[in-house]
């Protein structure tokens, strides 16, 4: 009986944390995908595109032509040829890893430093997956009024994880640089300095208070 109670508590904790993570992604990715005010953070500014131009823009970013196509490129996550270094990706990672938690007043990196020697693949894939959901919703004939379900998010994230791992298995210079970046936290080639800068830019845009 005690074991059943403990197991239920663990399941509840995992479920609640997953729910909060998806909610966090919905709120922040939506803003960086749509809001024109996020242009300073290299946001995608989908609200600036009309029906005739948003489709080609999303095709350029993802390779999708129709809303139910597979994503075939991660151009939306790249900056100056560097994989997963576009600011909207870095912002999500920075807010998740470096922003102090509301009740703890410390960040995930502060609380669990050993778990963040490397940049977790599932966080990168989760951020990319949520962005692709918002891209799909702007393509013609996407069903209206459909909520972002856990199943949809998990499916997008799984596909993005496949793309990420496929890129990491490549042998070109950019793939090697990506692997070094993900596997290195500190120093000039590590991910921490990029996330610190992203968090600084976010807080600077928010202004005082």
Q: Report CA torsion sign: 81, 83, 85, 86.
A: positive
Does the pLDDT value for residue 8 go beyond 70? no
Rounded-to-integer distance, Cα 55 and Cα 137, Å:
11
Averaged pLDDT for residues 167-177: 95
Residue 178 is inside which H or E element, if any?
Answer: helix 173-183
Question: Each residue of 165-188: b (16+ CB within 10 Å) or e?
Answer: eebeeeeeeeeeebbebbebbeee
Rounded-to-integer distance, Cα 130 and Cα 143, Å:
17
Rounded-to-integer distance, Cα 26 and Cα 28, Å:
6
SS3 content of the chain, % helix, strand, coil (to 5): 65, 0, 35
CB-based burial of residue 189 (10 Å sphere; 0-12 exposed, 13-18 middle, 19+ buried)? Answer: exposed
Query: What's the pLDDT at 168?
Result: 97
> What is the distance of C-alpha 156 from the center of its chain?
11
pTM score of the predicted model? 0.89
Query: What's the pLDDT at 201?
Result: 94
CB 47 within 8 A of CB 137: no
Does the pLDDT value for residue 10 go beyond 80? no
Averaged pLDDT for residues 12-30: 76
More confident residue, 11 or 164: 164
Query: What's the pLDDT at 7?
Result: 56
Please state the domain extents for the chain.
2-206
């Amino acid at each position: 009986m005690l074991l059943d109670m403990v197991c239920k508590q663990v399941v509840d904790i995992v479920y609640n944390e997953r729910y909060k993570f998806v909610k966090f992604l919905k709120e922040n990715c939506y803003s960086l995908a749509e809001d024109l005010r996020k242009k300073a953070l290299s946001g995608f500014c989908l609200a600036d595109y009309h029906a005739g131009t948003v489709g080609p823009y999303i095709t350029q970013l993802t390779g999708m032509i129709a809303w139910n196509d597979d994503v075939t490129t991660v151009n939306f996550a790249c900056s100056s040829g560097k994989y997963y270094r576009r600011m909207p990706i870095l912002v999500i990672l920075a807010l998740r890893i470096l922003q102090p938690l509301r009740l703890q007043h410390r960040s995930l990196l502060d609380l669990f430093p050993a778990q963040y020697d490397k940049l977790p693949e599932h966080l990168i894939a989760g951020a990319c997956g949520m962005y692709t959901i918002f891209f799909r919703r702007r393509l013609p004939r996407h069903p209206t009024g459909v909520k972002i379900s856990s199943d949809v998010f998990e499916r997008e994230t799984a596909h993005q994880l496949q793309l990420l791992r496929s890129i990491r298995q490549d042998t070109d210079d950019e793939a090697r640089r990506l692997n070094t970046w993900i596997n290195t936290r500190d120093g000039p080639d590590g991910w921490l300095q990029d996330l610190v800068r992203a968090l600084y830019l976010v807080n600077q845009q928010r202004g005082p208070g």
